[in-house]
Structure 1
């Protein structure tokens, strides 16, 4: 159940929704995430009261169409799955949200099952007396 944050410069609600759909569809296709596991924070920045900074590293030219996608998920996916996920998000961002693939910046952070609570103050993935490490199979 990944937690996704998407930040985009000059994005209205329609574009933010499209970017959220692109990421969710990629998560479902590449990692087999169920469709109801959609936990996203979508933020548009107007360039005045809030903005994004970007550079051209490593050798990828970005412009103000940049989108930052930060995904936090349980550990257990291999390098090939993570590469495929980043690639698929960039592929879908173009037709869904008119965002050039070069402007899709993806960061994946992994953690353990004990690091998640979905409500009620409980660690649903690591109940008391269970294995707190609990990587994704």
Structure 2
């Protein structure tokens, strides 16, 4: 179960939806995420009350088209799956939302089944440990 947060600068609702679709499809294709397992927080920052900062770290030139994607999910994917996920998100973000791959910044955080409550105050995955 992934929880995805996407932050972009001056993004329209359509742009945010396209980015969300790109991330979810990439998760399905590369990380065995079911189609109905979609939990996303999509936020546009206006540059005044909300800002995004970036530099050219590691020689990647970024600009105001930057999109930060934070994915939290249960541990268990291989390094190859993670690399495929990053690649596919960048491809689909470009295809669906026009976001340049150089502007796709992804942070993946893994945790354990006990770290999730999917509603009703229950730890639904706790028995899977």
- Fold shared, TM-score > 0.5 on shorter chain: yes
Shift of the alpha carbon at 1:25? 0.5
Moved over 4 A (4+): none
**Residue equivalent to 1:88:** 88
**Residue 101 in 1 paired to residue 127 in 2?**
no
Shift of the alpha carbon at 1:57? 1.0
**Residue equivalent to 1:33:** 33
DSSP-derived class of the 1:110 partner = strand
Cα deviation, 1:61-84, whole Å, max 9, x if unaligned, reads 100000000000001111111011
Shift of the alpha carbon at 1:122? 0.5
**Residue equivalent to 2:74:** 74
**Residue equivalent to 1:16:** 16
Question: What CA RMSD, in Å, does the superposition of the two structures yield over aligned residues?
Answer: 0.8
Which runs of 5 or more residues in structure 2 are unaligned?
none
DSSP-derived class of the 1:58 partner = helix
TM-score normalized by the length of structure 2: 0.97
**Bigger Rg, which one:** 1
DSSP-derived class of the 1:85 partner = helix
State how far apart, in whole Å, the 1-side matches of 2:78 and 2:59 are: 25
Cα deviation, 1:37-90, whole Å, max 9, x if unaligned, reads 000000000111111001111111100000000000001111111011000000
DSSP-derived class of the 1:106 partner = strand
State how far apart, in whole Å, the 2-side matches of 1:13 and 1:6 are: 12
- How many residue pairs align between the two structures? 129
Shift of the alpha carbon at 1:111? 0.3
